[in-house]
Amino acid sequence: MRRQRHPRGGDPPVTPRPGRLPAPPEPPGAPPLLRASKLVKVYRADGVTVEAIRGVDIELAIGEFVAIMGPSGSGKSTLLHVLGGLEPATSGEIWLRGQRADRLSTAAWAVLRRQHIGFVFQFFNLLSNMTVADNVELPALLAGATPRQARKRREELLAELGIADKAGAAPARLSGGEQQRVALARALANEPSVLLADEPTGNLDSSNTRDVLRLLRRAHAGGQAILMVTHDARVASLADRVINLFDGMVADDAKVVPIPRTVNGVGDVLEMRG
């Protein structure tokens, strides 16, 4: 059974966002929220073949936070994009909420993604010709929310992220940290089953990195499942598990075991499986 998370480092208890209940305990034998089996992604160009992902098996449980690490070129971002349907897999299986996704058409994948997946990118990917409010409301509208519901959701998220006063601003007028908060709000707007985050702190300074990680922790404490690519071990220490990729394959899979910070000032350590 997956271990129960608790707030770390003396942080005050986190109250889930109104209207969203923490994920229920995962019953024994419950299917994973997201699963990939023997996943392969091959790129071919000008007679050159590159195996970006080579037979990856990965699972994400309901409410679980998993970090993916590895050297540059190990396939981290490619794996995230394939799992989210942004790029097609060459072979293998992808299951989301019990539905086989890798066989879906492009249009069907788009519908599934709008309903169940939120993306946070390293370079924000906000729509420059839309206001902050419109950027955040759009995913909820595409997922089937009414304009009133989308507006209410946007107001809640921007207030929670401390940028409610930026609703009418253009993304270009925001700082990098503020843009990443908007990107996080946009990703959570349709209340996705899983949040896929690709180096969400890669372009932020230390202060904004702490703010974004605090927000990810709060989302996770509220029951949000997260799969995050990162190169920073400090960022990965927030997760329940850390998966290391090397040359497109899973090199190891480790549980993150919290240790009280009062013990020799040590933070989290990794306990290797098996």
Q: Is residue 150 part of a domain?
A: no
Q: Is residue 158 part of a domain?
A: no
Q: Is residue 165 part of a domain?
A: no
The range of the structural domain enclosing residue 53 comes to 34-126+191-272
CA distance 221 to 69: 22
CA distance 2 to 225: 13
Residue 206: predicted pLDDT: 84
Domain with residue 198: its CATH number is 3.40.50.300
Residue 125: predicted pLDDT: 86
Q: Is residue 164 part of a domain?
A: no
Residue 65: predicted pLDDT: 96
- What are the per-10-residue average pLDDT scores of the chain (274 residues)? 41 38 51 94 90 95 95 93 94 94 91 90 87 93 90 91 91 90 90 92 82 86 93 88 95 82 48 44
Backbone angles phi, psi at 185, to 5 degrees: -60, -45
Q: Is residue 77 part of a domain?
A: yes
Q: Is residue 152 part of a domain?
A: no
CA nearest neighbour of 229 among 13, 94, 82, 91: 82
Contact 139, 186 (CB under 8 A): yes
- What's the structural domain count of the chain? 1
Residue 201: predicted pLDDT: 84
Residue 273: predicted pLDDT: 45
